[in-house]
Amino acid sequence: MLVIGFALIILIGAQLLTLPVSSAIGQSTPWLDALFTATSATCVTGLVVVDTGTHYSTFGQVVILSLIQIGGLGFMTMATLFAVALKRRISLKERLILQEALNQGSIEGIIRLVRKVLLYTLCIEVAGAILFTLRFLFDMPAGQAVYYGIFHAVSFFNNAGFDIMGHYRSLTMYVGDPIVNFTSMMLIVLGGIGFVVLSDLAEYRRNRKLSLHSKVALSMTGSLIVVGTLVIFIFEYTNPATFGQLNFGEKILAAMMQSVSPRTAGVNTVDIAGLRQATQFIIVILMFIGASPGSTGGGIKTTTFAALLGAVIAMVRGKEDVVMFKYRLAKERVYKALTVTLFALALVMLATMILSTTEDHQFLMLLFEVTSAFGTVGLTMGLTPDLTTAGKIIIIVMMFIGRLGPLTLSYAIAPKPGRVLYRNAEGKIIIG
């Protein structure tokens, strides 16, 4: 259901984007380019083969924005909201699909969570749109400032990374602007920590406690942002192509923005191609980890990385259990984290190898592009507009898999396992 649903939304969006009315010059957009853009929008990625701000008309941009909102919240969430509004009963099957779509452990309270998702989304996007609009009023007419404020608030909260600044500039003209930077980072982080965590934070004043999931997601998110900021700041401090011309405060702001953005947002305030290779590789790692479960972001997720990190620490200390915040993780959680990570790593490696045969570019640029697509990030070193037909198809597939999650897709296409009648005898192999 999830695979087919997302595919249908992408195809409908692609068809709308091919219409002449969607183009700024009134001509039809090639089908593959429209499909690429629709996939990128629905999978909240942000990679584009044509510039969103100059190629598409207002109608086309509204189509893209609608795909971003549907893709970010999930089509099942949107369908459930309509069903609830029409007072239609939600079946058990639909609740189970919602459970999978929102990465929940059970169906208990799933409809309440869907209502909260809508409420949090509207409140955060409206707040972001107001802040952006007030800032953009200094640079453009009022009507345009409102439109730009709404577009970028929805795009950034859904971690899509689409912008309409024009000429593939993203937010490079606002590299030292605290309002634009902090508003963008606020939207990206709130959209990336997950709706379950948002619900826990909203109810913290009443409950005075956070779930283990929220503690792990928040601690990993904060740690990755701080570590990423420090590393990027150190590596780029003297780079004349990026931070060299900025003052000390602007360098910190730029480093923080470039650390937050790879967490599946795809917004940049400096030229990504101008970064040093060490910085680009750090961003690849951050993109691969991604956001938290049940959010608008992609990647293997922060909790997956935390589980793996916890397993390594437990093994080094000679402990049998993985313990986080005084809670023991079930072994199947660790196995699932390992499966997701290896599956994702294999997909990224395979796609990069294929892309290295279809595209004539440096390996790091290809790895960066594939990881950005899989993590639904949207950052690029400038490769996306130059992709061949085969390259575009590979990136489309990676964006689709990255949004659904490799395990969800594998469950959908794999044969259903039969009943296990026996267990094999235990054997031993040498590890390390």
Q: Is the dihedral of CA 55, 57, 62, 67 positive or negative?
A: negative
CB 266, CB 378: distance < 8 Å = yes
Quick one: pLDDT band at residue 414, thresholds 50, 70, 90? low
Burial class for 414, CB neighbours closer than 10 Å (0-12, 13-18, 19+): exposed
Q: What is the DSSP letter of 136?
A: H
CB 140, CB 53: distance < 8 Å = no
CA distances from 359 to 38, 233, 258, 362, 391 (A): 22, 31, 26, 9, 7
User: What is the bridge-based pairing of β-strands 323-324 and 327-328?
Assistant: antiparallel
Mean pLDDT of the 261-289 span = 91
pLDDT tens sequence across 3-62:
788 889 999 999 999 999 999 998 999 999 999 999 999 988 889 999 998 999 999 999
Quick one: pLDDT band at residue 185, thresholds 50, 70, 90? very high
pLDDT tens sequence across 208-260:
888 888 899 999 999 999 999 999 999 999 999 999 889 999 999 999 999 99
Mean pLDDT (the chain) is 87
Quick one: pLDDT band at residue 406, thresholds 50, 70, 90? low
Spatial separation of the C-alpha atoms in residues 351 and 288, rounded to whole Å: 14
For the packed helices 110-136 and 195-202, what is the interaxial angle rounded to 10 degrees?
90
pLDDT tens sequence across 339-377:
889 989 999 999 999 999 999 899 999 999 999 999 989
β-partners of residue 328 are: 323
Quick one: pLDDT band at residue 431, thresholds 50, 70, 90? confident
Distance of CA 203 to the CA centre of its chain: 25
Spatial separation of the C-alpha atoms in residues 336 and 354, rounded to whole Å: 27
Residue type, 318: G
> When comparing pLDDT for 320 and 129, which is higher?
129
Q: What is the pLDDT of residue 61?
A: 94
Q: What is the largest CA-CA distance in the chain?
A: 74
Both tokens of 289, joined, read 């980890």
Both tokens of 222, joined, read 């904060």
pLDDT tens sequence across 130-141:
999 999 999 899
Q: What is the pTM of this model?
A: 0.89
Q: What is the DSSP letter of 72?
A: H
**pLDDT > 80? residue 282:** yes
Q: What is the pLDDT of residue 326?
A: 86
Quick one: pLDDT band at residue 87, thresholds 50, 70, 90? low
